Structure 1
């Protein structure tokens, strides 16, 4: 052990690292970091490692082997060891572990097939749901939610964060931008509508905070359907922060719809039996997945994340470059390629045709 190292308990170091990241990471991200490091802290306790100064590359190897013995998925192991490596890098900077230790932490490589989530909502299913919602639940909160989730590829938290003032569906709405963003009046003439503007606010944070703020253009049909919901079925309520949420509740203390409610709505909308027969040969009248709170038990139902995955994949299948998709959905091009890109070979071929020339035929 180097005499230059400062004694540091594992849990104390984790708390210090998480605290350091508070200003640059979303709360959900920090929670995931703590969750991934929890097994490491438990292992350190069981191995009697109460001072990170004593941590060696052999210890890291033994911990890696310990986690592999649990039968974890390669992607899970990749996340846990990857987060551990970031943590060890921080510990090196504060003289808590021997110099050079982070370089000896080998993060398990993951094949693309192991990284992706194969439960994405397909474009065909999404279009069927859109059609049925418009036919049977037109102007409903549920329809407006699905339209925005599918069309923008936003995260659940982003959808929940929207206020009425974040919807710019008419040219006259742009006047709000002049006051909110200090945009010159002449410059507004070049701005097209419709679009929604995702904003990071303390009460409704975005995953990447200020860096997650972005205006996202909408097709006119999508904006019209959301506007119908606003005009006909949106319950006029103001939340405790004197804001007017786009998606409100009918009763209760919280005027803004909760994350759990949005998640439940998506589970319900993606149940095939909502619009037709059950593909799993279940008795619909007795199916537990039709009971309140149990919607996720349907094998075909999907949460908001696979819906986002499907939306992003659909954009790519239509020929959108990863860089353009990344800006629209607030992710990096690398993340788009590795975690959200589930190409349909035929559609992807079609999207590439525009790059062909007569000379290359």
Structure 2
């Protein structure tokens, strides 16, 4: 006797989203699930507002209509993220549950963005990053401080905020000049891509010197709640994500080495305090440092696949979301790659052809 199974197409849209998110928790980080939850919540509310229920009632026209509604209210880059999340959700309904029309996910429109649509002037630009690093390395009062150590790590690894927060002293290999990122969810430091995000990343000698000085000097000699020794330790142990962000904002303020671009006096400016550092228009978050670092590494001639391995992202994601090089910088890269392949071009000469 067969079991009486419910018809998946009869689920409400809200129930379907909840089921989808439960399934994704097994292979995604909490932050990713929260992002998807917010994006799909908007879709659920729209469906309920136009009386689309149950989930099997979703039609191609509805998805096109939702695209038009969202495109009128959000920026293209935001719309792109929302539509990718929706497309993945609809594909799950089709391929995993059979709850909607076959291939319905193909009706979800993904905006075709120009590079300019993704350009963000709030990235940490190369000139600004190198000026900050140069100052910290020269200045005796700030060299090897936590802010300096953070910036060396963030710029030269291009790592995510959570990855930097999870580093321990033991993850720094001073002899061979690299740091290792490990997925340690059981002690509160997961990586976004879990074990697939584990990797060693080499740093320049000068950066390694700074880390050694920091560990021997300004670093708080503490352990976290799990007995681990966090590299970028706070007074109480493992820094919170908010502490890492504040560290980033403080470390990237240009007034640490130059006159304030906003005509303020550093000694009197509230933006120089941790609680208000994020309000400084010139300070940058860890994500903006990551973006600037990736663009810089590509401009320095690193092959995209090498950068992808260092920063734990796919080449496609890097090209679409992180590479904010100017058109001139892109042309320069292309010419350099062409020169590097010159030996292959020589083989195209007719004189090199041999009779078989």
Residues 4 and 95 of structure 1 are in contact (CA less than 8 Å); yes or no, is this contact kept in structure 2?
no
Q: Which residue of 2 aligns with 1:42?
A: 45
1:211 aligns with 2:196: yes
Indicate if the aligned counterparts of 1:199 and 1:214 stay in contact, CA closer than 8 A: yes
Distance 1:5 1:13 in 2: 9
Give the drift of 1:244.
1.2
Provide the residue aligned with 2:220 in structure 1: 235
Q: d(CA) in 1 for partners of 2:270 and 2:61?
A: 49
- Ranked by relative contact order (alpha carbons within 8 Å, sequence separation 6 or more), the top structure is 1
Deviations 1:315-351 (A, max 9, x none): 1111111001100110111112122223353663784
Q: CA deviation at 1:15?
A: 1.5
Match of 2:254 among 254, 272, 277: 272
Q: CA deviation at 1:24?
A: 1.9
* Structure 1 contact 78–108 (Cα < 8 Å) conserved: yes
Q: CA deviation at 1:4?
A: 6.7
Equivalent in the alignment of 1:121: 124
CA contact (8 A) 1:154 1:308 kept: yes
Cα distance change of structure 1 residues 352 and 68 upon mapping to structure 2, 3 Å threshold? closer
Take 1:298 and 1:163, find their aligned partners in 2: how far apart are those partners? 30
Query: Secondary structure of 1:6's partner?
Result: helix
Match of 2:183 in 1: 200
Q: Under a length normalisation based on structure 1, what TM-score does the superposition of the two structures give?
A: 0.86
Matches within 5 A, 1:136-285: 136-170=141-175, 193-202=176-185, 203-250=188-235, 252=236, 255-285=237-267
Find the aligned partners of 1:12 and 1:331 in 2 and give their Cα distance: 32
Cα distance change, pair 350–60 in 1 and its aligned pair in 2 (3 A) = closer
**Which position in structure 2 is the counterpart of 1:87?**
89
Which of 6, 11, 21 lines up with 2:14 in the alignment?
Answer: 11
Q: Cα offset for 1:241?
A: 1.1
Aligned to 2:350: none
Select which of 36, 45, 51 maps to 2:54: 51
Q: Is the 8 A contact 2:147 2:250 kept in 1?
A: no
How far apart are the structure 2 equivalents of 1:353 and 1:108? Answer: 31
Paired with 1:273 and 1:196, the residues of 2 have a C-alpha distance of 30
CA offset digits 1:179-209 (Å, max 9, x no partner) = xxxxxxxxxxxxxx11111000111011111
Residue 357 of structure 1, CA deviation? 5.0
Deviation at 1:74, TM superposition (A): 1.3
- The CA distance in 1 between the partners of 2:147 and 2:78, in whole Å, is 33
Quote how far apart the aligned CAs of 1:285 are: 4.5
Please say if residues 117 and 306 of structure 1, whose CA atoms lie closer than 8 Å, have aligned partners that are also in contact: no
Distance in structure 2 (CA, Å) of the matches to 1:281 and 1:351: 40
In the aligned structure 1, how far is the partner of 2:81 from the partner of 2:198? Answer: 26
Q: TM-score, normalised by structure 2?
A: 0.87
1:102 corresponds in structure 2 to: 105
- Cα distance in 1 for partners of 2:49, 2:80 equals 22
Q: 1:249-290, CA deviations, whole angstroms, 9 ceiling, x for partnerless residues?
A: 12x4xx111111111111112112222211122344544423
Alpha carbons 1:162, 1:198 under 8 Å: kept? yes
Q: Larger deviation: 74-83 or 224-233?
A: 74-83
Alignment gaps of 5+ in structure 1 = 171-192
2:278 is matched with which residue: 289, 296, 300? 296
Alpha-carbon contact 1:199-1:206 (below 8 Å) kept: yes
The CA deviation string for residues 119-173 of structure 1, in whole angstroms up to 9 with x for no partner, is 2212221111112222131121111111111111111111111111111112xxx
Out of 131, 134, 138, the position equivalent to 1:131 is 134
Alpha-carbon separation, structure 2, partners of 1:52 and 1:356:
53
CA distance in 1, matches of 2:20, 2:8: 17
Does the 8 Å CA contact 2:223/2:229 hold for their aligned counterparts?
yes
Stretches of structure 2 that go unaligned for 5 or more consecutive residues are 1-5, 347-356
> In the comparison of the two structures, how many residue pairs are matched?
332
